[in-house]
Structure 1
Amino acid sequence: MLGGDKSRSKHDEFQKLQSRLPSVWRSFDAQMNSDLDILVVPSLSLDRGELIKVEGCIHYEERLLFALMRLSNPRTRLIYVTSVPLAPIAIDYYLQLLPGIPFSHARERLLLFSTDDYSLQPLSQKILDRPRLLDRIKRSLRPDRSVMYCYNSTAIERDLALKLDTPLYALDPDLLYWGTKAGSRQIFAECGIPHPDGSQLVFTDRDLAVVAAELWERQSHLQRLVVKLNEGFSGEGNAILDLRPLGNPSTHAERVETIYQAFPDLSFQGNNETWTNFQTKISHLGAIVEAFVEGEIKESPSVQGCITPLGTVEILSTHDQILGGPDGQIFLGCQFPAAENYRLQLQELGLAIGKNLAAKGAIERFGVDFIAVPNADGSWDLEAIEINLRKGGTTHPFMTLKLLTNGYYHLEDGLFYSQQGQPKYYVASDNLHRSQYRGLLPTDLMDIIAHHRLHFDTSTETGTVFHLMGSLSEFGKVGLTSIGNSLVEAQEIYHQVEEILNRETQLVNHNSALPIAWKCR
């Protein structure tokens, strides 16, 4: 069989497998009656050159541990696979958050597998490379009562789903283009969504200089341009080109050459990025340029939605993103909900984009990032920046809140309400990061949480839920979602956690003779 025939055969086989999704969808989405096996494969199947910039990236497989809360459905079984074994105390931590379910009952319905492989190879590929492990996972799944859940979907996840004979509740990899920078811009244009002027996709640095010059000529007032790798994420793969030092070249050729010569001076957002390294990625990832949205006051909101296997589009949440890095392009965290000034407008734009994606055959999560700039009359201009067709930094905090409280999102005001009708708010981050946190084990974190009562209180439905605990010891980094009954309360809870962790780790550094648990007493 020729290569093209093999590809078509695999495509047809995958479509046949996916045709089973609608029949399991209602069970997957059920609140208390789900009789389903959920296989969680949190593989970060992303460009390795970009992924390596994220410290402790292998521990980002813990981001989907909120899925353990689906065990609050007493008939649900959950199979969670990771590259390296999870700390037992981290598993216990999540299971003890389950409302109304005995710990032992939930633990019996949870199966954990690990590849024992610390490499940057995607987890899904690690599983495929281990036939015996693959077989054990397959035997743990009930035929026609299972679904696979992942961080992002690529051809590797498709191959794994086929090997396991388990439908993949995620984007068909054939549609990945719509989650790239160039694909996002095309959808914005089709939907009539405002977005920055920019270029088509190019694959050489010389062509990049040409399209940058053309953009500058179209908008001579521009001060800066953003250069983006087509498949960057979380702000990694972005660079800023400052046009102000470049003068005013008189011809198109001079403008192209001036920009080309300025590329080595790009302001990179990623860790330890260089032009030489960035330049090599352009040839295989492609790149675009966009106008940099200026503004003394500028927010970075986003909207999240879901496309069900039945083709319906649901808006899940809005957030204001917390950004950092040299030019404020790196995702550090978020707060929910987005500002009242524009959250309903975000929902409207997100719904239009979701319907466009659904018509193209996309399913599951999508997120759209925007830049918001205020007008003199109090209104806000929203410019769409990119579409993410995967789980993101806003997925796990919102799902943590939803699954912990069994509450609901209210489209009319863009707020989330608990079952008691109390609006809920949160501040979340993957990047509470201090060098002094290095050496903290998950057990040490639990000691601090218990002593200072930092844990989530199920009676008030406020407090903090931690994640990425595995990255603490080596990288000094932990994730957290601080939930309050107002945004101010959520922010206060977050800052309290940060202050206590800083104080406790300083205490250890100055008096290392005693275990941290003794000091807490």
Structure 2
Amino acid sequence: MDNLNDSFSGQESKFQQLQHQLRDRWQSSDQFDQDDHDILVVPSVSVDQRELLKVEGFLHYEERLLFSLIRLRNPYTRLIYVTAVPLPPIVIDYYLQLLPGIPFSHARDRLLLFSTYDASLKPLSQKILERPRLMKRIRQALRPGKSYMSCYNSTNLEREISLKLNLPLLAPDPDLLYWGTKSGSRQIFADSGVPHPDGSQLVWSVDDLVEATAELWHRQPQLNKIVIKLNEGFSGEGNAILDLKPLSEVGPGNVSHAQTVAALKEKIVHLRFQASGETWESYSSRIPQLGAIAEAFIHGEKKRSPSVQAYITPHGEVKILSTHDQILGGPDGQIYLGCRFPADPGYRLQLQDWGLRVGQTLAEKGAIERYGVDFVAVHQPDRDTWDLQAIEINLRKGGTTHPFMTLKYMTNGRYDLSTGLFCSQEGQPKHYIATDNLQKESYRGLMPNDLMDIIAYHQLHFDSSTKTGTVFHLMGTLSEFGKLGLTSIGDSPQQAEEIYNQVVRVLDLETKSDKDANIPISHPSLPITWNR
């Protein structure tokens, strides 16, 4: 046992030494991006894979970090991108063609793509570790002392890759992962003095969850709904709603506590799940493995779901990056679908303040790199203000990361803390609407090449002269799932939405025309073959 402890302690010490290398190299985020670096991007979505199954096309979510290819605009940067299955060449070409001022061939020569050729239900990082020859190829491609690793989220798997490659990991230490869970978030909010809804401690059994729910209802007898959350749920897919209205007769003050608990135990098996196809049998089996909490459902006639994103440097400095209004779906508006940037002016500066407090607490615990904080905002008409309640921390990259980084890299602009606006180099405020979930049955069967034909024919591409237009992602989900991601950038919220709606109209027309011979379609642009 002592040998095992010594081994773990040695590995932890080595990992910390690697992390300190980032602190030694760090000057500022902009200067860091401009330095001579090799970047290993491991876009593994290393969360509970059964939870990830609730997301259609989850395997292709590795494509969400393809915005990292825009880092190749720095002519000294080299980048290695690893995926579970090979990326279509046309998708890579699409991103490289977006690079301003860099010849395509120059960028392509500095990009190395690897694949595990493994579509099984395992995190990508695990697949990489199971392939020592692939690990060796990656190690040989990286320059010692000039390389670091970037990932979607940091777990023991990513730490193991970091250690085996002797490579600093630009991400939080996996030992800090708890602070990005539902219960950990609540503790950070309390420590930071950030308002958050009443809720329970973390529990690990159905009986304890029922008891915690009863205690919450006792403290808040006016509640009509309670949110049940798996502690490590993903994108709201692990949330479920408990409707208390049918139980009013057995609520607090009407019957004994034991009777309330008994009624809740009968009712909880009929939770309204936010993930399609979820069942109580499956959901309840996850509670002993992932843990769960009960939290007060926040009501409001005018309610929104904003978020703030920030960055903790290796030196512990906290920098606000952006604010968003999230677009949520599902039966009760719990599942992340997309976002609008920036958040409403009525609360975006307050979001920044609360986000900064959370970041300072996380930094004290040793966290680095990106994090996001989700809120619920309820309008108070008597004061014409918004009440903000923090509900979750994402101690990782999230659904708002790639749209904002796309905006930043495509416009080369800056975020203004005093206004919460992002302005281009010319001083023009920029706005966008983004989604990972533009999904329609009629889009099934469209391949990336078809999408490129449509983009070219209808001029849906991003215009580098006006810094407006659409950048597409998640193209790998299109053919099988009819699902696509995009970020539509405009000079106003209205223009961004119109650009987005135009994309939808065109895709609807094109896919309708596949079934209607009377509607003209964009013809495939085949490669030219020269006669000899």
How far has the Cα of 1:381 moved from its partner? 0.2
> Match of 1:20?
21
Correspondence list, 1:103-118, <5 A: 103-118=104-119
Q: Is the CA contact 1:84–1:118 (under 8 Å) kept in the aligned structure 2?
A: yes
Letter in structure 2 aligned against 1:434: K
Question: What pairs with 1:319-334 in structure 2 (closer than 5 Å)?
Answer: 319-334=324-339
- Aligned counterparts of 2:501 and 2:288: Cα–Cα separation in 1: 43
Residues 33 and 71 in structure 2, CA contact (< 8 A), matched pair in contact too: no
Q: How many residues align?
A: 520
Structure 1 residues 501 and 514, CA, compared in 2 at 3 Å: closer, same or farther?
Answer: closer
Task: Give the aligned residue type for 1:414.
Answer: G
For 1:110, give the aligned amino acid. L
Q: Which residue of 2 aligns with 1:407?
A: 413
Deviations 1:468-497 (A, max 9, x none): 001101111010000000011000100110
In structure 2, give the amino acid aligned to 1:276. Answer: E
For the 8 Å contact 2:415–2:422, the answer to whether it is kept is yes
Q: Is the 8 A contact 1:466 1:481 kept in 2?
A: yes
**Amino acid in structure 2 at the alignment position of 1:92:** D
| TM-superposed deviation, 1:5 | 2.5
Q: Say yes or no: does 1:340 pair with 2:340.
A: no
Cα offset for 1:403?
0.8
**Which residue of structure 2 aligns with residue 385 of structure 1?**
391
CA distance in 1, matches of 2:297, 2:441: 33
> Which residue among 335, 351, 364 is the counterpart of 1:359?
364
Instruction: Tell me: CA distance 1:80–1:519, structure 2 relative to 1, closer, same or farther (3 Å).
Output: closer
Question: Cα deviations across residues 326-359 of structure 1 (Å, max 9, x unaligned)?
Answer: 0010000000000000000000000000000000
Q: Is the 8 A contact 1:300 1:369 kept in 2?
A: yes
**Partner residue in 2 for 1:463:** 469
Distance, in Å, in 2 between the alignment partners of 1:27 and 1:372 is: 33
**Is the 2:307–2:375 Cα contact (8 Å) retained in structure 1?**
yes
Q: Which residue of 2 aligns with 1:307?
A: 312
Contact kept, 8 Å, 1:405 with 1:461, in 2: the verdict is yes
Deviation at 1:78, TM superposition (A): 0.7
Asked if 1:70 is matched to 2:71, the reply is yes
Q: Cα–Cα, structure 1 residues 513 and 412, in superposed 2: closer, same or farther, change >3 Å? A: closer
- Residue 509 (structure 1) shift: 2.3
Letter in 2 for 1:339: D
Taking the aligned partners of 2:30 and 2:5, their CA distance within structure 1 comes to 37
* Counterpart secondary structure, 2:232: strand
The secondary structure found in structure 1 opposite 2:455 is helix
Specify which of 469, 473, 476 is matched with residue 479 of structure 2.
473
1:276 and 2:281 are equivalent in the alignment: yes
Task: Give the conservation status (yes or no) of the 8 Å contact 1:153–1:172.
Answer: yes
Per the alignment, residue 436 of structure 1 pairs with: 442
CA contact (8 A) 1:77 1:110 kept: yes
Deviation at 1:10, TM superposition (A): 1.4
The answer for the alignment partner of 2:102 in structure 1 is 101
Normalising by structure 2, we get a TM-score of 0.96
Q: Distance in 1 between matches of 2:29 and 2:347?
A: 32
- Matched with 2:213 is 212
1:125-164 to 2 correspondences below 5 Å: 125-164=126-165
Runs of 4+ in 1 over 4 A off after TM superposition: 512-516
Aligned to 2:196: 195
Provide structure 2 residue ranges, at least 5 long, that are not aligned to the other structure. 527-532
Larger displacement relative to structure 2 (84-93 or 12-21): 12-21
In structure 1, give the amino acid aligned to 2:512: Q
Which whole-Å CA distance do the structure 1 matches of 2:326 and 2:378 have between them?
14
* Counterpart Cα distance in 2 of 1:2 and 1:338: 52
Q: Which letter maps to 2:88?
A: A
Instruction: Spell out, residue by residue over 1:274-308, the C-alpha distance to the aligned partner (whole angstroms, 9 max, x if none).
Output: 11111110001100000000111100000000000
How far the C-alpha of 1:456 sits from its partner, in A, is 0.2
Give the distance between the partners of 2:356 and 2:189, measured in 1 at CA. 12
Question: Do residues 293 (structure 1) and 316 (structure 2) align?
Answer: no
State how far apart, in whole Å, the 2-side matches of 1:36 and 1:499 are: 42
Amino acid at match of 1:69: I
What code does the residue aligned with 1:310 have?
H
Q: Distance in 2 between matches of 1:219 and 1:27?
A: 46
C-alpha contact 1:508 1:516 (8 A) present in aligned 2: no
In 1, Cα distance between equivalents of 2:273 and 2:51: 12
Equivalent residue runs for 1:7-46 within 5 Å: 7-26=8-27, 29-30=30-31, 33-46=34-47
TM-score (norm 1): 0.98
Task: Tell me whether 1:54 sits opposite 2:59 in the alignment.
Answer: no
Partner of 2:529: none
Matching residue of 1:317 = 322
Q: CA RMSD in A?
A: 1.6
Task: State percent identity of aligned pairs.
Answer: 63
Offset at residue 387 of structure 1 (A): 0.3
Specify the alignment match of 1:418 in structure 2: 424
Shift of the alpha carbon at 1:510? 2.6
- How far residue 135 of structure 1 moved from its aligned partner, in angstroms, is 0.3
